[in-house]
Structure 1
Amino acid sequence: MADHPGHRIAARRQSRRLTQRDLATAAHLSLGMIRHIEQGTRAPSPSALESIAAARGVDPARLDPAFAGTGHRVHAALPSISAAIAGYDIRLDPPGRRREELRRAVATAVVQRLAAQYGLIAGAAPALLRDTLALLHHSAGEQREDAARLVAAAARCADAVAYKYGAHDLSARLIDVMRWAAVQSADPVLQTSVAYTSAETYLAAHAYRLGQAALEQALDASPAPVTDAAAAARGALFMRTAVVAARAGAAGAAYDHLERAGTLAVGLVEGVYLGTAFGPSSVRIHEVAVAVSLGQDHIGRALDVARAWKPGNEVPAERRSGFYVEVGRAQLWSGQPDAAFESLKVARRLAPQHVREHPWAREDVEKIRRIKRADAESLSAFAEWIGAV
């Protein structure tokens, strides 16, 4: 059938102009197995799926949305991530990789983070953290500042995994590493970018008023936007502060921060700046996020945006997926369970692991199942996949 993982594997292989033999060699599997999997006559085992995904540099859930093994791999990696940062400010051995090699590895991890490929990040994060921290401790001058940026980026990628999978204490420690590295870099723009990520600590604790105050202090300390990177960092922080203010019930402040983010986005091309997506499309996505965070009295604004506009490929997959999760919640609140389920299915296609670990998505699927007494097979399958049953 068209939705079989073998068809996705074949399509991805063909898009890279690889033969089945090329894929079999890279994945350390037999050619016959690859042929049967792509034809759909044999379902890939979890280990085979992970081998194929690793060979192609994607999360297994991108090839088979029903794949559940990523969560096990992530949780198994969390203690190693914790150990890698236990003495982050202590100098020990030099790094095991050269600077340029580490730079490429960090760049790969950032791409994986933006695509919500958490399993791949989890596997690489412990060594990446150890090596970037060692590089920082064995660097001086401008090279030390450069290494500090690599540490901050590596810690942010690891934090994405910890935060999404509920390891909030580890997430907070990784944010501490990011803050420390930002100070070592002496780069105020990086410090603004780190403040954006620090909002996770307040969101996880539901400490919204405190988070709003902390982020507003960070905005006061952020540098004037004299470069595109500075404008994007400050604009992204306004977006995040808007969401936290909305969670605190401060509608006026939330919309004011969102408006200021929009002003900074004018003239900027939507893109990734210091690891954070920012631009006109991101601001529009956050308009939906703010409206949904403020609650049911504001969902009309979210639905208006969704009717008039959809994010395109200029926005990373994780953020696009989040847009559809939030639109789905607004649709469910407005009495449109079928439309809400369609939105959740789009979100899942874009970033399966992001949706699987999203508490709102799980809550909303549970509610849709209660409303839809007929209990369609596709809805039941989705609910089982996300852990709602």
Structure 2
Amino acid sequence: MADEVPVGRRVAYWRKRRSMSQQLFADRLGKSKSWLDKVERGVRRLDKFSVLQEIADSLRIDVALLLPEGQAPQPVGPTTLIDLGDLDAVQAALERYEQVGLCPAPAPPPLADVRKSVRHAWLTFQHGRYPVLVRAVPKLLRDTQAVELAYRVPAERITETAHLHGQAYLVASTVLRKLGHHRLAWIAADRAMVIAGRAGDKLLTGLAAGHAGQALLGLDRPRSALEITTLAATALAPGGATYPEHISVYGHLLLQAALAAATIGDSVSVYGLLGSAGEAAADLADDANHLWTAFGPTNLALHQAAAAVQLGDGERAIRIHQKIDPDLLTALPAERRANHQLTLAHAYAQIGAVDRAGDALLLGDRLAKAEIRCRPMAHAVITDVLRGTRGTPPAPVAALAEQMGVGI
């Protein structure tokens, strides 16, 4: 679509792509058909971030697709944990091309410092501290690129520096996807895949494929996401005894493929993929965190619940949750636990238990604020909670909605 196309016409375009009438889509938004008609004709402007995000979530697209290229929605007030200037800096870092000599390469920092920085970035992500990570990503990309360019001998050194460089792109892709910037997330994952191919790093290639699949899923390309993750999983399928990092990447790919299949509605593939992931998880001694995948039996259960929600079976997701050992769940990274609470909130909303959904969102917010307050999916779920609540919502839920910029 051309960049000059007005926002209202973009809404109409995507609504028709989803085969929804104006009345049906207006009902989903809790608006009148007249309101939607005015929006699509450009009579009524869409200049409120929460409304734009709600429309994008209902259409299952990145909010950026509703806006001209380069124009970002600007949330205001207490809803914003992420500084828009920091996101601009991440995009600028993705637009640099030192690798092919188009920009002067910065002096490389000590390799030991870069190792620590990559590790710290992943720990920051797994603690759910997305604002801190977004601020760190541009320098991380520059530093890892600089060391890959500088340290080219001996051969094992270039293998390590390429892996660090690829990991930097993967952590950038992950946090961008969490924040709903799926196009940038896909670019970062694609860069990691190029680096992995250049270095002949099969595990990094698999990880990059998994992240690319997640980004494609956010871009409403579930079949492409399913294809890339299943192909990568097949390429890494263990043919006997292998090491934990290999099993973890293989299992991670199967989980991402299962979520893509669930988005399509292919329940047979979902359960087949989850079954294979279960066999891989059984080969690990515990809920390890090899190569930052957090892959293991408990994270498998979390993905089983997420796939059930995606298939519209909230009751099944809740049953899966009830069987998870609380101690094992507590041992997972804060991001995983908060994400699971978001899954539960969605499941409870599906079955009409909006009070329990609100409780799950509040618990997720206590575990990792950014996982709830910054994610488009959480905005959609809390909107469902508010609409489904009879009378005035509980004060903590109302306060969280206000902090997220979601109107009651």
TM-score, scaled relative to structure 1 = 0.78
Q: Take 2:215 and 2:396, find their aligned partners in 1: how far apart are those partners?
A: 35
Match of residue 93 from structure 1: 105
Equivalent residue pairs, number? 320
Would you say the 8 A contact 1:145–1:184 is kept in 2? no
Q: Which residue of 2 aligns with 1:161?
A: 175
Describe the SS at the equivalent of 1:278.
Answer: coil
Over residues 21-57 of structure 1, what are the superposed CA-to-partner deviations in whole Å (9 max), with x where a residue is unaligned?
Answer: xxxxxxxxxxxxxxxxxxxxxxxxxxxxxxxxxxxxx
Determine if contact 2:86/2:134 at 8 Å carries over to the other structure: yes
**Residue in 2 aligned with 1:122?**
134
CA distance in 2, matches of 1:170, 1:334: 34
How far 1:139 sits from its partner (Å)? 2.0
Q: Name 1:33's counterpart in structure 2.
A: none
CA shift in 2, pair 1:183/1:223, >3 Å: farther
TM-superposed CA distance for 1:88, in Å, is 5.0
Which structure 2 residues correspond to residues 129-208 of structure 1 after superposition, within 5 A?
129-140=141-152, 141-208=155-222
Per the alignment, do residues 67 and 388 of structure 1 end up closer, same or farther by CA in structure 2, a change over 3 Å counting?
Answer: closer
Native 8 Å contact 1:95 1:132 kept in 2 = no
Change (3 A) 1:88 1:303: farther
Give the match for residue 375 of structure 1.
393
Runs of 4+ in 1 over 4 A off after TM superposition: 66-69
2:301 is equivalent to residue 292 of structure 1: no
Q: Which string of whole-angstrom CA distances, capped at 9 and with x for unpartnered residues, describes residues 269-327 of structure 1?
A: 212111211000110101101100111xx222211112232452321111111111111
Matched, 1:70 2:81: yes
1:275 matches 2:289: no
Q: Distance in 2 between matches of 1:98 and 1:282?
A: 35
Paired residue type of 1:375: P
Q: How far has the Cα of 1:67 moved from its partner?
A: 6.2
Tell me how far 1:264 sits from its aligned partner. 0.4
Query: Which residue identity lines up with residue 319 of structure 2 in the other structure?
Result: D
Match of 2:357 among 316, 340, 353: 340
CA–CA distance in 2 between the matches of 1:120 and 1:254? 35
CA distance in 2: counterparts of 1:234 and 1:256, whole angstroms: 15
Counterpart position of 1:262: 278
Contact 2:78-2:405 at 8 Å conserved across structures: no
Among 75, 85, 88, the residue aligned to 1:79: 88
* Structure 2 residue identity aligned to 1:189: L
Match of 2:253 in 1: 237
2:368 aligned residue: 351
Q: Structure 1 stretch 221-230 or stretch 343-352: which is displaced more?
A: 221-230
Q: What letter matches 1:82 in structure 2?
A: Q
Aligned counterparts of 1:93 and 1:202: Cα–Cα separation in 2: 30
CA–CA distance in structure 2, aligned partners of residues 353 and 264 of structure 1: 31
Matched, 1:364 2:381: yes
Q: Whose relative contact order is higher, 1 or 2, with alpha carbons under 8 Å and at least 6 apart?
A: 2
Question: Can you give the 5+ residue segments of structure 1 that lack an aligned partner in the other structure?
Answer: 1-65
Say if 1:291 and 1:301, in contact at 8 Å, map to a contact too. yes
Q: Alpha carbons of 1:211 and 1:160: their partners in 2 closer, same or farther (altered >3 Å)?
A: closer
Deviates further, 79-88 or 347-356: 79-88
Q: Is the 8 A contact 1:209 1:248 kept in 2?
A: yes
Name the stretch that deviates more: 335-344 or 239-248.
335-344
Once the two structures are aligned, what percentage of the paired residues are identical?
A: 26
- Structure 1 residue matching 2:82: 3-state secondary structure: helix
**Cα distance in structure 1, aligned partners of 2:225 and 2:80:** 34
Provide the residue aligned with 2:402 in structure 1.
384
Paired letter, 2:336: R
Equivalent pair of 2:262/2:307 in contact (CA under 8 Å)? yes
Instruction: Provide the C-alpha distance between the structure 1 equivalents of 2:162 and 2:322, rounded to a whole number of angstroms.
Output: 43
- Do 1:238 and 1:260's aligned partners in 2 also have CA atoms closer than 8 Å? yes
Q: 1:217 aligns with which of 196, 211, 231?
A: 231
Residues 78 and 404 in structure 2, CA contact (< 8 A), matched pair in contact too: no
Q: State the shift of 1:161 in Å.
A: 2.9
Matched residues in 1 for 2:80 and 2:387: separation? 28
Q: Which runs of 5+ in 2 are unaligned?
A: 1-76
Q: What value does the CA root-mean-square deviation take over the aligned residues?
A: 1.8
**1:387, 1:70 → 2: CA distance?**
11
> Which whole-Å CA distance do the structure 2 matches of 1:169 and 1:259 have between them?
31
CA distance in 2, matches of 1:236, 1:325: 20
Residue 39 of structure 2 corresponds to none
Which has the higher mean CA deviation after the structures are superposed, 132-141 or 303-312? 303-312
CA distance in 2 between partners of 1:273 and 1:381 (Å): 38
CA distance in 1, matches of 2:282, 2:354: 35
